[in-house]
Structure 1
């Protein structure tokens, strides 16, 4: 990048979500959860072929409560889960796929919060939207902030299976989670973004939060 590159000031920074024309498309691999698609894309200056994972999208939740007995401090609900592709047990925030047909993102987030950490929340806001790997997959993730929490009744709790069966949960001071992200001790992308965004939103007095049903232009099914 040249030091003479343009300096952008005084404009609203926003991604341009106008797709380029696709001149050919085929599914080259059908997987257990996701497929791989090969598109030929017209960039105007020429065409390129790209393979990428077709992804349903996902939601994640930063569940925050006041630290008991410490005024002005907050804690965040984190889980530990084994992830085979990277061979690591990660600290994460509750999250799940948008794989139930017709289920709105907010409803999916509410369901995942209850299923993964046995919590409900009265107050919901959109905290952040992002693409974890836009050069390799179409996945869009929406991160919600959940507050005013309560526990799911014992009789109504979800039975966790497979990898989720050994999942554990803990309350972590938000400042400690923030420090762990900066130190590289937490590497899960969704957790990193959620923790940083929550810390920033709290410092701003929560005025940056969006409505829980705010438009989601990054996800084609929920714009």
Structure 2
């Protein structure tokens, strides 16, 4: 991978354009050859996504309607980091429980990703959750039509590689876990 070079680009000012209940839009202004260029940026509090993995190498996926792409998607349990002062791992624990009812004994931070760096300031924290225990989901109003199912990790990875999983965050996290298992000889502890 090429080394990241240092450049003089920077945001000289940022102005709010729209503030919604979950996300907003801000205008970021950067210097451009003696001029200034404005970019509209999705203001996002950050997200979390959880690969809940059972001992039998089954992962938990949820399906829900996503208005932005106008279809139902199978994804990992995921959500916003939108509670003031809540650490990312706690947000991941909350989202897993809210959406699926499951909780986990062991948590491993996989990576921080910028899923749409060209248009959004979102950073999503990816977690692996193991040592799972069932419980009762406490879904929010917009999650009531959500379905869930356990899928073999290998099948989910095949779906990601074949393009049957549209969510890039889900695909990346599944591929990371599969690679970790390969490197660690099948153990995720």
The alignment's TM-score, normalised by the length of structure 1, stands at 0.76
Note if contact 2:48-2:124 (Cα within 8 Å) is conserved in structure 1. Answer: yes
Count of aligned pairs: 187
Aligned with 2:182 (options 191, 203, 210): 203
1:34 alignment counterpart: 23
Structure 1 residues 148, 159: CA separation in 2 closer, same or farther (over 3 Å shift)?
closer
Note if contact 2:100-2:137 (Cα within 8 Å) is conserved in structure 1. Answer: no
Note if contact 1:59-1:109 (Cα within 8 Å) is conserved in structure 2. Answer: yes
2:133 alignment counterpart: 150
Aligned with 1:57 (options 34, 42, 46): 46
**Deviation of 1:122 (Å):** 1.1
Structure 1: 5+ residue stretches without partners: 1-6, 68-73, 210-223
The structure with the largest alpha-carbon Rg is 1
1:108 alignment counterpart: 91
The alignment's TM-score, normalised by the length of structure 2, stands at 0.89
Aligned with 1:94 (options 70, 77, 91): 77
Q: Deviations over 1:115-153 (max 9, x none)?
A: 11111111110112211111101000011000111112x
Map 1:209-220 to 2 at 5 A: none
Structure 1 residues 29, 196: CA separation in 2 closer, same or farther (over 3 Å shift)?
same
